A and B are shown apart, each in its own frame.
Chain A
Amino acid sequence: MADVAFTPNLERHVECPRRAAPGATVREVLDGVFADNPRLRGYVVDERGALRRHMTVFVDGRQISDRERLSDRVEPRSEIYVMQALSGGS
């Protein structure tokens, strides 16, 4: 089971506590989380299933390379962080 954490800025809009989820790719892990929390999906990925433009995902400290299919590999004890770019000052 991978450990999945979300940017705290998301918590204001939708509950997304840290949790464990199975899967061999980022897609599989996140789909498992979204299955239990359907509203969260649209905050992280768009209708194509691609990461939203200013969102990013780290697996064990490495930024993923496949933002569209989320095919990056996940190990059983991986730590996954779903993060956002920092906004400007406007």
Chain B
Amino acid sequence: MTRSSLLVATRKGLFVAEGAGKAAQLTRAMFLGDHVALAIADRRDGSWYAALDHGHFGVKLHRSANRGETWTEISAPEYPTKPDGFVDKDIWGHDREWVTKGIWALEPALDSDGALWCGTVPGGLFRSTDRGRTWSLVESLWNHPTRVRWNGGGGDDAALHSICVDPRDPRCVVIGVSVGGVWRTRDGGATWRPHTAGMKANYVPPELAEWPEVQDPHHLVQCPSAPHVFWCQHHMGIYRSTDDLASWHELHAPPSSFGFVVAVHPRDPDVAWFIPAHSDQKRTPITGELVVARTRDGGRHFDLLRDGLPQRMAYDLVLRHALDIAPDGEQLAFGSSTGNLWVTDDQGDHWHALSHHLPPIYAVRYA
């Protein structure tokens, strides 16, 4: 088991836990009082990045070169001016503002040193080649004819929340958008194709149910050692692709396949974790029992893991970025909207509570 740091992004600050398994402890708090949407570590150069949402004062990005000892504000992605006369209205008929309203994904782009991808609300993908000093909108995706039909899922605007950089070829990138579907570029962002065959939505009329842009992937992951395998927690349930996104097939994890998060084992594409909620209508654990669902056989069977998790009157919801797996494939961590944080060092057989007293947790990430 390797020593690791865990970045915990919350409604009121960024917290760091250090140490492995049950020995892990929360050791530091930074940006105290500020809404931290997510934080990542770039393993290429050790930089940490934190995405802040100041509400009144807008969305900001900060970078640390010394593991959070000090932070420097860098540029946040900015949209270009909407062309005069361009019709871009949301599903309610309101003009869509071309303004960065949130940062919902940030990942190293592995094709050049210091390059990053950033997913935003209202749905734009941005790229930096200089560690976030400057950003440019990936116009090929933003100008795709279907993009004006992307819409909010929960919020008013579409959110680009998942970015999977293919370990076989860094110019190949898959993204997930709520609500806008699953898209892939094979040429570094020049062209994009949808990859939603097999997904279905019941929240639109039946004739639209299989349209790519109405699909609502809540979160999307790619197995690093078997990159032809993807897992998706979709609004409608759990999907898996084993043919490099040619198709998706639906899986069932009784008693509920509804949820937001998914994690896949870094070396075994058949092993994945989900955290179910009752349903779209009741976004709480089923009967007040918090469980993690784990499959070891590609989704044919799911075990419900309970050891160390509250089994009575528990109403934690785990948002889409709030589950992560460490590179060792043994440690996982998740945090809830009610400020509870759990870790495991045996793939979820036993969970250990690191804190019951944090602000609402938006994202966790191993550094």
Show the binding face of A for B, using Cβ within 8 Å: 9-10, 13, 39, 42-44, 46-48, 52-55, 84-85, 87, 90
Which of A39, A47, A55, A90 is close to B99, meaning CB atoms less than 8 Å apart?
A47
A47-B54 contact given A39-B73, A90-B11, CB 8 Å threshold:
no
Q: Is the CB of B57 within 8 A of A13?
A: yes
Stretch at the interface among B74-82, B204-212, B263-271: B74-82
Is B57 touching A47 in the complex (CB atoms < 8 A)?
no
27 A-B residue pairs with Cβ-Cβ distance under 8 Å, sorted by A, are A9-B56, A10-B57, A13-B54, A13-B57, A13-B60, A39-B73, A42-B58, A42-B60, A42-B76, A43-B54, A43-B57, A43-B58, A44-B57, A46-B100, A47-B78, A47-B98, A48-B97, A48-B99, A52-B57, A52-B58, A53-B56, A54-B55, A54-B56, A55-B56, A55-B57, A84-B56, A90-B11
Quick one: CB contact mask for B54-78 with A, threshold 8 Å, 1 for yes? 1111101000000000000100101
Q: Give, as a whole number of angstroms, the nearest-CB distance from B184 to chain A.
A: 28
CB nearest to A86 among chain B residues: B56
**Measured between alpha carbons, how far is A55 from B56 in the docked complex, in Å?**
6
Residues of the A chain whose Cβ atoms lie less than 8 Å from the Cβ of B11: 90
Inter-chain CA distance A46–B100, complex, in Å, is 8
Complex Cα distance, B56 from A85, in Å, reads: 8
Instruction: Decide if the interface of chain B is mainly helix, strand, loop or mixed.
Output: loop
Q: What are the 10 tightest A-B residue pairs by CB atom distance, in nearest-first order?
A: A47-B78, A43-B57, A54-B56, A84-B56, A46-B99, A52-B58, A47-B79, A42-B58, A55-B56, A47-B99
Write the chain B residue with the least CB distance to A84: B56
**Do B56 and A52 have beta carbons less than 8 Å apart?**
yes
CB neighbours (8 Å) of B58 from chain A are: 42-43, 46, 52
For the complex, what is the distance from the CA of A41 to the CA of B57, rounded to whole Å?
10
Within 8 A of A (CB), among B97-127: 97-100
Give the complex CA separation of A9 and B34 in angstroms. Answer: 12
User: How would residues 249 to 261 of chain B score, 1 for a CB under 8 Å from any chain A CB and 0 otherwise?
Assistant: 0000000000000
Q: Which residue on B lies nearest to A90, using beta carbons?
A: B11
Whether B81 pairs with A48 at a CB distance below 8 angstroms is yes
- In the bound complex, do residue B55 and residue A87 qualify as a contact, i.e. CB atoms below 8 Å apart? yes
Contact A48 B98 (CB under 8 A): yes
Q: Which residues of B sit under 8 angstroms from A54, Cβ to Cβ?
A: 55-56
Q: In this complex, what residue of B is CB-closest to A42?
A: B58
How many Å lie between the Cα of A90 and that of B313 in the bound state? Answer: 23
Name the B residues within 8 Å of A55 (CB-CB): 56-57
B268-293 interface code vs A (CB 8 A; 1 in, 0 out): 00000000000000000000000000
Residues of A close to B99: CB separation below 8 A: 46-48
| Chain A hits for B73, CB < 8 A | 39
Kindly list chain A residues whose C-beta atoms are within 8 Å of the C-beta of B98.
47-48
Interface centre among A43, A44, A48 (most CB of B within 10 A): A48
B99 to chain A, nearest CB (A): 5
Q: Nearest Cβ in chain A — how far from B70, in angstroms?
A: 15
In whole angstroms, what is the CA distance A43 to B60 when docked?
9
The residue of chain A having its C-beta at the shortest distance from the C-beta of B82 within the complex is A48
A39 to B55, CA, bound (A): 16
Residues of chain A contacted by B76 (CB below 8 angstroms)? 42
- State the CA gap A54–B97 with chains docked (Å): 15
Report the minimum CB–CB distance from B170 to chain A (whole Å): 28
Chain B residues lying within 8 Å of A87, measured Cβ to Cβ, are 55-56
